[in-house]
Structure 1
């Protein structure tokens, strides 16, 4: 069975937590990652790795000294990510709301980039607010939080945390087309 069919089946069962019925396209993956300096990044975090569509692109570009920590709470997607068996990949079955605690357990106190596929618009406000605040806190200065969404409704919430340091991009070659927010931590 193809990975797209598996993703669709899982999405239908869990539409209220996944927020989509198709995995991210290669075009969205490439556009999300285009500004990452993989040569300098030591720790990259992925929130909501799903079936690994974006994870695989990150792993292809990691420098030998980098680590990718992927958070995934869905059992089936967690198991799919585990099958990637990459020496620089750590897959956690943990909520992104626990990002700081989980990273501290791994002896990481700061991260360079956070790539998020979380459906923030359908996550309860108190949880999504916590995820954003903790993500901001764990980023290095000038680190970047990269989030895609299918609408512009989340811009104000991101701006509340990241202030004026947000840029917006758009990827039409995804189902559905997606907006990409790049939020820099500037203190």
Structure 2
């Protein structure tokens, strides 16, 4: 490669690094969306209004393990950690190594664990970290665009991993997720957050208390 071409490539790489640093988490989130739009589902992280409303029905006093699918750059992570007990744990699962690397570099909390993997494997993942069940599972995964069979597999695994009385918290732009949830959850509460880009549908699927 000619010297001029090497110089151009070096300048381009440096410019991308500077842009990424300047944009911070937004830059990382956007890069992840470009790489895997089907799995991310949104080009913009959730608003604080969505976060507050989505977490408002959680009983933090009885939450020992909170799990999140598709955490991205951690939009929900710190708000969850801020609300959790000192001896509780947060495990987040994502298929994108870009996000997992970013979270491990930016969140320094002994209660936090970021795992590269599939939400469908949640049972094996939490067992590997010493847990026999979860109290709440949060998901922003785009159920309407997931590959065939993946959505039902995630819902089935989530229902199995939840302790009695626990809940599957789902936020989406589409109501498709509710159809998947209805296969396993008899009680599903719903709500809507207009102050989000795009306006967001919310669902809480409750596992029978026994």
- How high is the TM-score relative to the length of structure 1? 0.95
Aligned residues: 186
Single out whichever of 30-39 and 151-160 deviates more from structure 2.
Answer: 151-160
RMSD, aligned α-carbons: 1.2
Gaps of 5+ in 1: none
Q: Aligned-pair distance for 1:13?
A: 2.9
Q: How many angstroms apart in 2 are the aligned matches of 1:136 and 1:98?
A: 12
Residue 203 of structure 2 corresponds to residue 181 of structure 1: yes
Q: How does 1:87-106 map to 2 (within 5 A)?
A: 87-106=110-129
Q: How many angstroms apart in 1 are the aligned matches of 2:71 and 2:29?
A: 12
- Structure number with the higher helix fraction is 2
What is the aligned partner in structure 2 of residue 19 from structure 1? 41
Gaps of 5+ in 2: 1-21
Residue 96 of structure 2 corresponds to residue 74 of structure 1: yes
Q: Quickly say closer, same or farther: Cα 1:161–1:4, change in 2 above 3 A.
A: same
Single out whichever of 12-21 and 175-184 deviates more from structure 2.
Answer: 12-21
SS, match of residue 154 in structure 1: helix
Q: Aligned-pair distance for 1:12?
A: 2.3
Q: Which has the larger radius of gyration?
A: 2
Q: Is the 8 A contact 2:32 2:96 kept in 1?
A: no
Residue 178 of structure 2 corresponds to residue 155 of structure 1: yes
What is the aligned partner in structure 2 of residue 34 from structure 1? 56
Q: Aligned-pair distance for 1:16?
A: 2.3
What is the aligned partner in structure 2 of residue 51 from structure 1? 73
The Cα offsets for residues 136-173 of structure 1, whole Å up to 9 and x where unpaired, read as 0110111000001102123222111102x000011111
Q: Which runs of 4+ in 1 moved over 4 A?
A: none
